[in-house]
Every structure is written in structure tokens, then in C-alpha cells.
Structure 1
Amino acid sequence: MVLRVHRTFSVDSDLRFVVTERPRVGAVRVLSRPGEDGELVYLASSRADAECWLQSHGYPDAVLDEVTADALAAVVMEGRTAA
């Protein structure tokens, strides 16, 4: 399940978020638009699933980003894995 937040919270907030599961290799992230401001709007099981989902959801500038083994390894090596 993906959480989409529609509010802004102060960095001083007591709220805590935890990554409970990482996407598997081969999954495809559907981002709302290119660049750093793109939001994750759907996590598809495959590219075909992502393309099918996009046909019925209005994201004309969407970017498909496939999860690779290299990308997952980089997250762990950079020390960004969730506790």
C-alpha cells in the first residue's frame, strides 16, 4: 500500500514514518511527472501493469521507473535503508 499525503508537516513534528517493505525487482514506479517534484502515484507489478493503469488514470506527464537490483543495492550501500 502506498501512502499519499496531502498535507505539509513541520520538520519538528513528532510524526514518524517507517518503510515496511521495499518494491521487488521488476516492479515499476509510476511517478506523476519527471524531476524531483514527481510523486509516486502507483506501484505496478510490471511495465505492462503500469501502462494499463495509466490508460485509465489521467497522468499525461507520468514517468515509468523500473525497480532494478542495482537501485536496491545502492539504497542499502548509501545507508538509507529503514530501521
Structure 2
Amino acid sequence: MTATFVRMRDQFNSVGRSAHIGIYAFGFTWGAWAALFIATALFCIGIRSKKDNTGRSRWGRKRSVRSRRSYEMGSHRVKEDYS
């Protein structure tokens, strides 16, 4: 992309028209590409991360144990008290 803009700037300047490349616009564009690349790399690393012996990944969301524990202990739901 940058090479194309540089070539076109040179063409415009060779025929007598004023042209310049906006450094802030190109910096913003290349910064956005870099951020996209980093986000994609981190996403792929997150997908392929190994799970520990409990079945959860190291950085993943922790599963709630409150509801599972209440059913394992034999307790009942509060809603069942009103029926």
C-alpha cells in the first residue's frame, strides 16, 4: 500500500501537480494493521492453549461451582419450597 502511494506521489510530482504522503494517516493505518495482527496471534494462542488436568484452560473463564455443589450436596432449590 505504501509503495503504491509513493509511486503515485512521484507520478503526480513529475507532471507538476503537488502531492505528499500524510505521515499521520499512514502511521494510523500501519498501527491498525499491527493491532489486528497482534489480536489475531493472541486469539490463535488462546484457542490452542493446553488445558490443565481439571479440563479448564489456564486463561479461560472459570466455571461456577456454586450451582454444581448445591446439587451434589443434596440440597434443593428455593423455588421448590413454594410449590
Q: Give the TM-score normalised by structure 2.
A: 0.23
Name the structure where helix makes up a greater proportion of residues.
2
Name the structure where strand makes up a greater proportion of residues.
1
Q: Give the TM-score normalised by structure 1.
A: 0.23
Compare CA radii of gyration and give the structure with the larger one.
Answer: 2
